Amino acid sequence: MKANNVVLITGATSGFGEAAAKVFAAAGWSLILCGRRLSRLETLKETLGQQVAVHIIEMDVRNSAAVKQAIEDLPADVADITTLINNAGLALAPQPAQQVDLADWQTMIDTNVSGLVNVTHAVLPALLRHGAGATMINIGSIAGQWPYPGSHVYGASKAFVKQFSYNLRCDLLGTGVRVTDLAPGIAETEFTLVRTKGDRAASDTLYRGTTPLSAQDIAEQMFYIATLPDHMNINHIEVMPVRQAWQPFAIDRD
């Protein structure tokens, strides 16, 4: 690793992204924090800027031109990006596919697939310049591996994250740049609140009576991946709480 480590985190205003910003800051990494909610970014900068250099970018990852320009305009002190955390993403519409608005499907595709591609394409040159030790961590989901009712486009988009990560590994062979698909299971963040469009009761019910993962749990996994020896690459990590597992196949009966 080079001395001045810099991490760029998308979706940094809540959940995994916000927790990762705090974990990396505590270790002395400079931060590039991206998100759509400027007020939250400013609060993070005010807090974490007392520890490390913090550059914030109000960014919608779906806007490819804006993403490209923001990366091109990075100040010199954070332009040597060591680690990219592609965390921006969301799930919508937990109803069965036949009941879902097309707009919700399109939003998930635009954010989870196109947004990931936009940021990766813009940041990849910086990772290549950094060379050995540079790391890309793409936040997938167990939904990208295991189907469940109501996952439809969300699960498909996370399957894209996994396969895109694997394919990047092939293309980046010999460059020193590492790529990991980090796939969490159930975690207590704003995820379900967003998915249900603000239904607090539904969110509370999902996590009640069990012990889900926390944002901190996943942030610590990100830091572990980013600080591995330069010659090591973890292709895929699937992290579930002990109290979550699989169920038998569903069967339709008369």
**Range 67-89 average pLDDT:** 96
How confident is the model over 149-170, as a mean pLDDT? 97
pLDDT at 1 over 60: no
Mean residue pLDDT of the chain comes to: 95
pLDDT higher than 60, residue 2: no
pLDDT at 90 over 60: yes
Question: pTM of this prediction?
Answer: 0.94
Q: What's the pLDDT band for 139 if we cut at 50, 70, 90?
A: very high
pLDDT per residue as tens digits for the range 212-221: 999 999 999 9
Q: Is the pLDDT of residue 177 over 50?
A: yes
30-35 sheet: strands from edge to edge: 54-58, 30-35, 6-9, 83-86, 135-139, 178-184, 236-239
- What is the average pLDDT across 58-68? 97
pLDDT band at 93 (very low <50, low <70, confident <90, very high): very high
- Reported as a pLDDT band with limits 50, 70 and 90, residue 3 is low
Q: Domain spans of the chain?
A: 6-239
Active site residues: 154
CATH, range 6-239: 3.40.50.720
pLDDT of residue 200: 83
Q: Are 7 and 31 in contact (CB under 8 A)?
A: yes
Dig out the tokens for 235 from the structure: 């292709």
Question: What pLDDT shows up at residue 206?
Answer: 84
DSSP the chain: --SS-EEEESSTTSHHHHHHHHHHHHTT-EEEEEES-HHHHHHHHHHHTTTS-EEEEE--TT-HHHHHHHHHT--GGG-S-SEEEE--------S-GGGS-HHHHHHHIIIIIIIHHHHHHHHHHHHHHH-TT-EEEEE--GGGTS--TT-HHHHHHHHHHHHHHHHHHHHTTTS--EEEEEEE-SB-SSHHHHHTTS-HHHHHHHHTTS--B-HHHHHHHHHHHHTS-TT----EEEE--TT----PPP----
Residue 166 identity (one-letter amino acid):
Y
Q: Are 86 and 179 in contact (CB under 8 A)?
A: no
Fill in the amino acid letter for 220: E
19, pLDDT greater than 70: yes
pLDDT grade for 203, boundaries at 50, 70 and 90: confident
Rg of the chain in Å (alpha carbons)? 18
d(CA 239, CA 83): 20
